[in-house]
């Protein structure tokens, strides 16, 4: 939420320079966190290198909106494959927090960049499950922590421990996806439609 607040402020007062300004601001915060570490929850949150991963998403959006992604389908596929391989390789790393942006952020950046451009050449919309996950991604982002906490309670009382590591991880993954989709379908989408009607007013019959 801190990131979205900063993005909203930057977009309101310095729209054209919002990405460079956010980059400088978040870089300063991360440097402070590395140079003078503090274990308070607020300090850790506002200086977390994960802020750079949000910035990568902003950069892709800016490039896409400005028509500056001009590579072809082969490059798109190569980016997706490279990012996927790098992401899989990162599973073997110890993933220290300061290097998270390298282990997880950069591979994800390559995948999203390839997919964002690849939409010009490939019909990703035909992948209905993937589209549903994409539509519900924000609800998934908001609910997955609650789902993981709830299932962890079941794990502690040994209801799910018999599954073992990988099957249990798959259960967690599926439960998070399902909860995110249900939240999007029955909470986020109706609420968004309601707010749009209230803010925009009646839509003309010709439209």
Question: Do both 140 and 193 map to the same domain?
Answer: yes
Whether 3 and 101 share a structural domain: yes
The helix (run of H) or strand (run of E) holding residue 81 is: helix 73-90
53-79 tens-digit pLDDT:
999 999 999 999 888 988 999 999 999
Range of the domain at 95: 1-122
Same domain, 93 and 192: no
Are residues 93 and 133 part of one domain?
Answer: no
- What local confidence, expressed as pLDDT, does residue 207 receive? 47
Q: What is the pTM of this model?
A: 0.76
Closest CA to 65 of 25, 21, 16, 27: 16
Q: What is the pLDDT of residues 114-156, one digit of tens each?
A: 999 998 898 888 889 989 999 999 999 999 999 999 888 777 7
Residue where a domain stops, chosen among 61, 95, 122: 122
Q: What is the mean pLDDT of the chain?
A: 88
Say if residue 165 is in the same domain as residue 96: no
């Amino acid at each position: 939420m801190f990131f979205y607040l900063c993005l909203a402020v930057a977009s309101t007062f310095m729209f054209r320079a919002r990405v460079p300004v956010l980059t400088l601001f978040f870089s300063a915060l991360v440097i402070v966190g590395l140079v003078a570490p503090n274990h308070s929850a607020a300090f850790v949150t506002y200086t977390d290198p994960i802020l750079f991963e949000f910035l990568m998403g902003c950069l892709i959006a800016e490039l896409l909106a400005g028509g500056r992604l001009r590579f072809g389908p082969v490059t798109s596929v190569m980016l997706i494959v490279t990012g996927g391989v790098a992401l899989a390789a990162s599973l073997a790393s110890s993933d220290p927090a300061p290097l998270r942006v390298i282990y997880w952020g950069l591979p994800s950046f390559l995948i999203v960049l390839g997919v964002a451009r690849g939409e010009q050449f490939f019909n990703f919309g035909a992948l209905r499950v993937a589209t549903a996950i994409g539509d519900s991604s924000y609800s998934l982002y908001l609910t997955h922590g609650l789902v993981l906490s709830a299932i962890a309670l079941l794990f502690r009382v040994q209801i799910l421990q018999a599954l073992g590591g990988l099957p249990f991880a798959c259960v967690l993954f599926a439960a998070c996806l399902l909860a995110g989709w249900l939240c999007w379908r029955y909470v986020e989408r109706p609420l968004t439609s309601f707010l749009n009607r209230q803010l925009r007013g009646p839509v003309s019959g010709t439209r």
